[in-house]
Structure 1
Amino acid sequence: MSFPTKTAILIIGGAEDKVNGREILQTFWARSGGSEAKIAIIPSASREPVLIGDRYQQIFDSMGTQLIKVLDIRDRAQGEDPYFQAFVEECTGVFLTGGDQLRLCELLADTPLMHRIRQRAQQGEISLAGTSAGAAVMGHHMIAGGSSGEWPNRSLVDMSLGLGIIPEIIVDQHFHNRNRMARLLSAMSGHPELLGLGIDEDTCALFEQDGIVRVIGQGTVTFVDAREMSYSNAGLVEAANPLSLHNLRVHILSQGDAYHLKYHRPMTQRES
């Protein structure tokens, strides 16, 4: 007797293990149906889409995937391509590679193809994964660029609109590896109603359909909850000046931990 696959949305901090245990990629493969999976790889964020598409195709093929297609989208008009749209209706998993998140959004945002991918992922019909740039685009508001810095300030971060897969979050990736806490806090200062996620390399925040976010991989996921922020000077100081942000809640979760989106609280492996 076969059981329906338990789909999920996987937000990966980048540089995930592609050689040894491949825990995160194996998890995406399993959540997409395992040996019965039909996976669409979208390498549009990359400047070398053929190279990166082939690499992930080889990885998922070695796992025993039933069918893999690389949707090499380099023009917005391809977001209406009947061939691509037909496979998005058939597939059980979609993987967004790394690269440049602005390029990915410029090519895919508001296209029929992306609308359908988002709809199927939100309804739990497919698993969707994004790594690095593919992770950054998951929220409605997106960190498009910026730099690491000594203190949070508005000039540290460039914001844009993402793909809105999980609208209530802001994602930053390669997080502790590239010292991006100040950048995420700078982004949060303008959007305290959202949940900030800082995801380390080879680490994944796995969003279950029941509102539980599970952490898998080598590093940590930092959750920044600014809903009860009592004070910010963001509207009072120049863009390069340090920000004051009072009463933030910060949780750092590692492998096996989880976060309950409804109750905004972290959970240990035993609780989840």
Structure 2
Amino acid sequence: MLKRLCTALLLALACAGAPAADAPKGSLVIIGGGLRADNAQVWQKIVELAGGQGALIAVFPSAAQHPEQSGTSAAERLNRYGARAFVVPVAPQLAGLDARKAADDPALAQAVRDAGGAYFVGGDQARITAALKRADGSNTAVLDALWSMYRRGGVIAGTSAGAAIMSSTMFLDPPPILPMLKQGMVKDGKDVAPGLGFIGDDVFVDQHLLIRGRFARMLPVMLAKRYTLGLGIDENTAAVVGPTREVTVLGYRGAIVLDLAQASTDRAQAQFNLSNARISYLDSGDRFNLASRSFTPGPDKARATGGVPEHRGPVFFPDILGNTAVVNLLEKLADSDQQQAIGLAFDGPRSAAPEQGFEFSFTRRQDGEYASQRGEGWSIFNVRMDVRPVRMNLPLYSTAP
């Protein structure tokens, strides 16, 4: 009887999102790329989580094309915000260095283990995994040291490529977004590859998200790899993931959360399709709990009360994959007299199958819309998203005489 009660209690705690006993006590700072030197909010957060003023932070230039320059620059910026950063010389592009051999150096591993945090610069994420994973897929000594530091309570931060490695699956060399949707499959070892998995096995991470219209390319990967949660972060913006799995967005723009827990796809159709997905936009200051899947708007937000809308009539975007288009559409829908918005995605006339495209429909939930009381910012949670293949009649003819 006592054994059954203990088992039930453990199951209840797991369902409630309580961290496991061996869960990392540290934090992640996942930056979507393009982190500017003057983004004090993000740089200071990294230093704070690493231990505050004087914190030792190991800088990994592993992804960089020019690691000496990139590593030194990142260390100088962290030091400007109070850290004592040092560069870890583990990078495939460092001349005369065997990166994997260096990653098994006991002295380097100990230096990383003793630090309060680590920071991965941007570049090519495949270089990071090539340096820190052995040929047989096992961890090098430096990667084990990173995990030890993270489990103890340290912070692991990364920008661009340094963000991609945070999930257990990462993009490797994928095609552009529309061709990826059109091909209808995900190729292991080409489109995607194993990441380092610091965020866990249940969340897929992508970066440069809004400015490059990348939310749609996450969808086929999430379906193929059985992820129900996706987290995409825009440039000059960070998602800070704490030990309780609470995500806080900091920085310039925001992040997208994709939830496919209730989504379905019609596999009888040859082309990509998706029904009943959920898409949410988190503005700076908003929070999202990965365990409970609950949202908390930032302190400057209040629930939209349904006053006089700014926009009237159909909400339609002809290029939903454009720069920040998906967030612009969601914000316009939230401040409109409409319940649904439509966005299209088509390639140019010289692309493969230019007549084939996709329609994205977004259906609002007014109880998930929060407006800033100090500006134009919005937080928009749990909008229903459906994707279906559509065709355009080509060639297009002018109506002019």
47, 62, 66: which is aligned to 2:80?
Answer: 62
Equivalents in 1 of 2:108, 2:261: separation in Å?
Answer: 40
List runs of 5+ in structure 1 lacking aligned partners.
1-5
Aligned residue identity for 1:82: P
Change (3 A) 1:178 1:7: same
Equivalents in 2 of 1:116, 1:54: separation in Å?
Answer: 22
Contact 1:189 1:245 in 2 (8 A): no
**Residue 7 of structure 1: CA displacement?**
4.5
Contact 2:123 2:161 in 1 (8 A): yes
Q: Tell me the residue number matched to 1:8.
A: 27
**Residue 94 of structure 1: CA displacement?**
0.3
Equivalents in 1 of 2:228, 2:129: separation in Å?
Answer: 20
148, 153, 159: which is aligned to 2:192?
Answer: 159
**Residue 188 of structure 1: CA displacement?**
1.4
Equivalents in 2 of 1:147, 1:178: separation in Å?
Answer: 13
90, 96, 107: which is aligned to 2:114?
Answer: 90
Matches within 5 A, 1:112-191: 112-121=141-150, 123-150=151-178, 152-153=181-182, 154=184, 158-166=191-199, 167-191=201-225
Change (3 A) 1:103 1:187: same
Matches within 5 A, 1:200-219: 200-219=234-253
**CA-to-partner distance for each residue in 1:225-264, whole Å, 9 max, x for gaps?**
112222243x863xxxx41111111111011101011211
Q: Tell me the residue number matched to 2:381.
A: none
Equivalents in 2 of 1:77, 1:194: separation in Å?
Answer: 37
Equivalents in 1 of 2:261, 2:158: separation in Å?
Answer: 26
Aligned residue identity for 2:237: T
Contact 2:60 2:88 in 1 (8 A): yes
**Residue 52 of structure 1: CA displacement?**
0.3
**Residue 155 of structure 1: CA displacement?**
5.6
**CA-to-partner distance for each residue in 1:91-146, whole Å, 9 max, x for gaps?**
0010011010111111112212112212431x252111011000001111111132
Partner-residue secondary structure (3-state), 1:134 = helix
Contact 1:13 1:135 in 2 (8 A): yes
Equivalents in 2 of 1:236, 1:64: separation in Å?
Answer: 56
Equivalents in 2 of 1:126, 1:135: separation in Å?
Answer: 17
Deviates more, 1:128-137 or 1:78-87: 78-87
Contact 1:17 1:23 in 2 (8 A): no
216, 223, 233: which is aligned to 1:199?
Answer: 233
Contact 2:169 2:204 in 1 (8 A): yes
**Residue 195 of structure 1: CA displacement?**
1.5
Aligned residue identity for 2:209: F
**Residue 46 of structure 1: CA displacement?**
0.5
Equivalents in 2 of 1:221, 1:124: separation in Å?
Answer: 27
Aligned residue identity for 2:115: C
List runs of 5+ in structure 2 lacking aligned partners.
1-24, 92-98, 134-138, 301-401
**Residue 11 of structure 1: CA displacement?**
0.6
Contact 1:17 1:24 in 2 (8 A): no
Aligned residue identity for 2:27: A
Percent of aligned positions with the same letter in both sequences? 29
Contact 2:39 2:251 in 1 (8 A): no
**CA-to-partner distance for each residue in 1:176-201, whole Å, 9 max, x for gaps?**
11121221112112133341111100
67, 71, 81: which is aligned to 2:88?
Answer: 71
User: What's the TM-score once normalised by structure 1's chain length?
Assistant: 0.88
**Residue 33 of structure 1: CA displacement?**
1.5
Q: Tell me the residue number matched to 1:3.
A: none
**CA-to-partner distance for each residue in 1:6-60, whole Å, 9 max, x for gaps?**
9421110000121x24321121011112213001000001010000001011112
Change (3 A) 1:156 1:190: closer
Aligned residue identity for 1:134: G
Partner-residue secondary structure (3-state), 2:173 = strand
Equivalents in 1 of 2:105, 2:86: separation in Å?
Answer: 14
User: What's the TM-score once normalised by structure 2's chain length?
Assistant: 0.61
Equivalents in 1 of 2:266, 2:142: separation in Å?
Answer: 39
Aligned residue identity for 1:131: T
Greater radius of gyration (CA): 2
The answer to whether structure 1 residue 253 and structure 2 residue 258 are counterparts is no
Aligned residue identity for 1:16: L
Equivalents in 2 of 1:22, 1:232: separation in Å?
Answer: 46
**Residue 163 of structure 1: CA displacement?**
0.6
Partner-residue secondary structure (3-state), 1:248 = strand
**What is the root-mean-square deviation in Å for CA atoms of aligned residues?**
2.2
Equivalents in 2 of 1:168, 1:119: separation in Å?
Answer: 21
The answer to whether structure 1 residue 244 and structure 2 residue 286 are counterparts is no
Equivalents in 1 of 2:266, 2:145: separation in Å?
Answer: 38
Partner-residue secondary structure (3-state), 1:95 = strand
Q: Tell me the residue number matched to 2:47.
A: 29
Contact 2:253 2:284 in 1 (8 A): yes
